[in-house]
Structure formats: structure tokens, C-alpha cells
Structure 1
Amino acid sequence: MNPRQLKTFLAVIRHENLTRAAAEVNLAQSSLSDQIQALEEEVGADLFLRSRQGVIPTPAGAVLKTYAEEILALNDEAKAAVSAAAGNAEQSITLGTLEIIAAERLAPWLSLFRKKNPDVNFKIKIRGSGELLAQLQQGSIDIAFTFDRRQQDERFLTRRICSEPLVLIAGRDFQARPPESLAALSTAPFVATETGCVYRYLFDTAFAEAHIAAPSIVTEADSIATIIRLVASGTGYGLVPRLAVGPAATRGDVVELPWPGNPPSASLVMMWRRRRVQPPALSLLLQSASEELSPLRPGDARLRHAG
């Protein structure tokens, strides 16, 4: 089981299609099939079921997936540790985050960090919350900044940065009065992201923690910026992080309404893979983020297992 075989194996799992997987790993489809066949012969089991619908892992393939991810992660970690010990570590970090967090929280801080550490280069990937975790797991990104979903994963370390308030918004011309209770809100029209998105999780959690049925979603949108524009046009209410509302509120497109009860909030966290030796550039970034992004003192930042 060499790393190239395992990368090919995981590409097939991701795409469920040999042609698309071959394109990702820059192989002819016949070469990809040869690698999978050699891997199956080595482990002594069929790894995929092939049908008209696509290619899916067998139970044996599903088991190997977890080990393949860990082997490749350990392989990358070993290379980074050796480079660091030899003084040849590349000062580069690939950072993944949500669009709003990148624009409103990370951009000013990263600019300051670069001035203090001019030898460290960045690549920033804007992704959805689910994709961020997948890329962190695959090693495509070094660190993720996202909102906490309280999911535990022993492979990652999570550090809370701060608490971001969620705010109830309505369009300026929308006939919306401040709600008297959460029960009243449960019958109001809302705009939200689709199920599975971290913002929808925050929306559902705000009502679930108050033991109130979540309102009807009249429109789903795939970005917070689009939700705010829909709310501004009068489609319904929105519950979004305050950090995303600033420009629209300044223009007067939306108004913030008081939340009946304890105002909901979301924990902004950074997540990175657990390693024996962290790359020097990543260690610098973690320290800077704890000091510059969090309202807490660095010593108060809590480290816990999470995903």
C-alpha cells in the first residue's frame, strides 16, 4: 500500500466515478484501474462495487478508507517534521474558512500577521462547513476557521476564539414588529440556509434550546449574503451572525429586531489536525490567533477535542 495507491483509492471514493477520479489524480482510467486492482490483491478483498449508478466502497473498502486517510496524514506529518528538524520547513499555510468569517474577522488579522511574519505565505480556501472538515481530514488545508457544531472528533483539536452574537433581522419596509415571544416567531416566515449548513444548524439550535418549534422556512439560500438581500427585499425574517449584517444595516436595508429571551450566539473556533510535531508556521499562526482574534487572554483559550 503506497501513498499513490491510497490517494487514488480515496479519489474513487470521493467521486464514485472512475473517470472523474482518474482526472483528479492525473491518471489514465486504465492506470487507475490497475492501481485499484493491485491494492485489492494486496489487501485480499474487493474494495468497490461497480454498477450503472457508479462505484461505491464495499464494507472492506469503507474500513480501508479510515486507515488510508490516517496513513496519508501521518505520511505528510512525517515529511513536515523531518523538514522542520532539518531547517527546511516551508513557511506556508493553507487556511479554510467561511466567506463571512474570512472577510469580517480574518482579513485584518492576517494582514497584521504577515507584517510581523513576512516569510509566511497563505492560501485561503472559502468552503462550506462540511467541506472544511473533509479537507482538514484529507490534509488539503492546515487549519479551519468556522462556527462550532459541537461534534467530537479525536483527530482534531479545536480552540474557541470568541462568541459571535446572532441577530434577528427584517427588511426596512417589511411589516415586522418586534416579536413578543419566541412562540410568536415560530409562526413567522424565515429565510435560511439549507439543512446541513452550519448557519442552518445555528438557526435550528436557537429555537431548540428554547424548546420552541423552529419556524417555517419560506426560502432557502446557499449564502448569508443572499439571505440578507432576500430579507431586505421583504421575503421574511432572518437569523444571522451580526458580523455579516454591518454593511446592510449601515445602508438601512435591514433593521435589527430585539430577540425575545436570551440572545443566541455561535462560537467561532479554529480547528487543526492533531500531530506529534506542528509545522513552525502553523504554531506561529495558532499563537497569533489566540492573542489577536480572541477577546480572552491567551492563557484562557481552552483546548478541547472536537470536530
Structure 2
Amino acid sequence: MHPRLLRTFLAVARGRNITRAAEAVHLAQSSVSDQIQTLEAELGAALFTRSKSGLDLTPAGLALKPIAEELLRLDGEARAAVLLAAGQTSGALTIGALETIASARLAPWLPGFQASHPEITVRMKVADSGTLRHLLEDGDIDVAFCFERRDGGGAAADERLASRTIGAEPLVLVAAPGQATAPCVLQDLAALRFVATEPGCVYRHIVDTAFAEAGMAAPRLAAEVGSIGAIVRLVAAGTGLGLVPRLAVSDALARGDLVELPWPGRMRAAALAMIWRRRRVQPPALGQLLAAARDMLAPERSGARSGLESGDRSKALFPNNSLKTGATS
């Protein structure tokens, strides 16, 4: 079974639709259909059946799916091992990131990385935290940059994923100019309305956790929106307050579109993390990118707070020099 056929099979299995699968694997719909037919002919069994909701896996397809995923993982590790042994770092990588991290952190950093590593081709996908996780699990991106959840429900809870914190971004309470006064106690804030993202998004988790840790229910929401940009616009219009990482609103604060209010009590920070799939052999290109991101994206103040100098911080984040050896734990 050729890896190309298995990738197409998995794309159809995930999307349950030829059109979506064709977009995922960058092929014409007719090519996707042809490849599925070729794979079915090779195996001597139908892999999909049509239903009202799309293409469903047959018992044969269900049996093939986990094996196809394992074969593709082994194929990737074999290629990585050869490149590593040959001392080559060339390759193509796809980065996934939250909108704010992509624009505020990765956009200024990525051109320098590409200039230093012209042999590595880098693409970027911007999505919400839930989508980034699925893209990682499916192998559609190589690394995700996002804010970590603090309830144990993030990458650390999934043995298939490895995660390293590379910085901490302060959370800020923002409002429209002249729309709110500084709160004295957290109970005052709980009585006000907030603008937040939908449940499941890391930005919504930040709001809910801030109040839950104080033993209070989350405040009423004036609006649930799909992006941090929408939060900024709605808060600036006076719809409600926002609690977000500073980098998400630094430009709006500088322009005077928003004002920062003091948070009553101890303010927390959002952990900025990079997450990737565990492999026995890590692709050299990915190792180069993770090492560069660790060294360049992590703010110096993060290491200073923890008492770690740059060399010690490197050992703490990547024990056993894992980025250089190709290990993933």
C-alpha cells in the first residue's frame, strides 16, 4: 500500500466527503476517487459506503484506519531517520497558530528563521485551539503555537503529543474608554458583562478559570464570538469587558481603542506553548524550528523569573538535548 493512497484514504475517512478530502490532500476530486478505487482493488474490499450524512467507513475501512495511521507514522519516522543519519535538515513544515500568536509573535520571527534556514520550507495555518489540536492529531500540521490550558486538559494529557512552554503572557482586563471604572473586588467584576469566545476555546477558558479559582461563577456574557479580533471590536464598542493575553490587545491599547483596568487580586499569565506529535525519530527540520522558536520566542523575563539562565532554561525545556538527537519526550 503506497503511503499516498493511505493519506488519501485517511483524508476521506476524516472529512467523510470527497470534496473536503481533495482540498486536504491538494488533489482533484477525480484523483481522490481514483486513489480510493485503487486501494479498494488492491485490498479486495470496499472501504466506504454512502449514507445521508456522507461517506461512512465499512467494517473493512474501520479495520484499516488505525493501521493506516501507524504505517504513515512509521513512513515519516523512516524518512526522518535517513535525513538525520545523512545530516540533512531540509524539509517542509506546516506551523499552526492562534490568530494573535501568529500576528504578534510568529510574523516578526518567521522571516529571520527562513533566512537562516533556506533549506526548510515553512507554511502557516491560523485556527482556533480546538482545530489546531485536531490538525496536529491528523498530521496536517507539524507544530502548534497556542496558549496552554491550566486544567490538565491540554497536550500534556495526551500521550501522543509533546508540549513545551516557551513563555508567559500577562492577562489584561480591558474595556472601552470611559465605559467602566476600576473594580475594587472580584465580586464587582462578576456582576458585569464580558465578551468572550465560545466554550472550548482557550480564551473562554481563561475567563472561566479566573473566576472559578476565586470560588465564583463566571460572569454573564454580553456576547460569544469566534475570534480575538471580534472581542477587541466589541469591547471597544462598549459591549462588555474582556480578559485576554496582553499581546492580543497591545495594538488596540496603544491606539487608545481600549483601556486597561486593574485586576482585583493576583493576576495570572497565559502560558505560551508549542505542541508537536511524539515520534521516535524527530524530523531534523522540525528539530531546527523548535530549537529556534525556543531560543527566540521565549521572552528573557520568563527565564529571569524562574531563575534560569539561557543554557539552564534550554536543558529544563528540552532534557537530554532532545531537540538535537531527534527524540520527542
Cα deviation code 1:228-284 (max 9, x no counterpart): 111011001011111111111112111111112221321100112222222333222
Q: Does 1:163 align with 2:168?
A: yes
- Cα distance in 2 for residues equivalent to 1:63 and 1:205: 40
Cα deviation code 1:29-55 (max 9, x no counterpart): 75355356448756xxx7656321223
| Pairs within 5 Å for 1:207-218 | 207-218=211-222
Q: Could you tell me whether the CA contact under 8 Å between 2:146 and 2:272 is conserved in 1?
A: yes
- Cα distance in 1 for residues equivalent to 2:19 and 2:257: 47
In terms of fraction of residues, the more helix-rich structure is: 2
| Pairs within 5 Å for 1:57-206 | 57=57, 64-87=64-87, 89-149=89-149, 150=152, 151=154, 152-174=157-179, 176-206=180-210
Aligned-pair Cα RMSD in Å: 2.8
Q: 1:96 to 1:18 in 2, by over 3 A?
A: closer
Secondary structure (helix, strand or coil) at the match of 2:199 reads coil
- Cα distance in 1 for residues equivalent to 2:90 and 2:37: 34
Q: Could you tell me whether the CA contact under 8 Å between 1:207 and 1:213 is conserved in 2?
A: yes
Secondary structure (helix, strand or coil) at the match of 2:167 reads strand
Q: 1:258 to 1:40 in 2, by over 3 A?
A: farther
- Cα distance in 1 for residues equivalent to 2:192 and 2:51: 46
Q: 1:261 to 1:67 in 2, by over 3 A?
A: farther
Which residue matches 1:26? 28
Q: Could you tell me whether the CA contact under 8 Å between 1:73 and 1:139 is conserved in 2?
A: no
Tell me the CA shift for residue 196 of structure 1.
2.1
Tell me the CA shift for residue 140 of structure 1.
2.4
- How many residues align structurally? 301
Which residue matches 1:299? 312
Q: 1:55 to 1:92 in 2, by over 3 A?
A: closer
Tell me the CA shift for residue 60 of structure 1.
7.2
Secondary structure (helix, strand or coil) at the match of 1:245 reads helix
Once the two structures are overlaid, the 10-residue window that deviates more, 88-97 or 125-134, is: 88-97
Q: Which has the higher contact order (CA 8 A, sep 6+)?
A: 1
Cα deviation code 1:96-116 (max 9, x no counterpart): 111211221223333443444
Name stretches of at least 5 consecutive residues in structure 1 with no aligned partner.
none
Residue type of the alignment partner of 1:34: Q
Secondary structure (helix, strand or coil) at the match of 2:68 reads helix
Q: Could you tell me whether the CA contact under 8 Å between 2:89 and 2:119 is conserved in 1?
A: no
Secondary structure (helix, strand or coil) at the match of 2:50 reads strand
Secondary structure (helix, strand or coil) at the match of 2:279 reads coil
Name stretches of at least 5 consecutive residues in structure 2 with no aligned partner.
304-309, 320-327
Match of 1:289 among 286, 290, 293: 293
Q: Could you tell me whether the CA contact under 8 Å between 2:89 and 2:120 is conserved in 1?
A: no
Secondary structure (helix, strand or coil) at the match of 1:177 reads coil
- Cα distance in 1 for residues equivalent to 2:230 and 2:181: 23
Identity of aligned residues (%): 50
TM-score norm. by structure 2 comes to 0.80
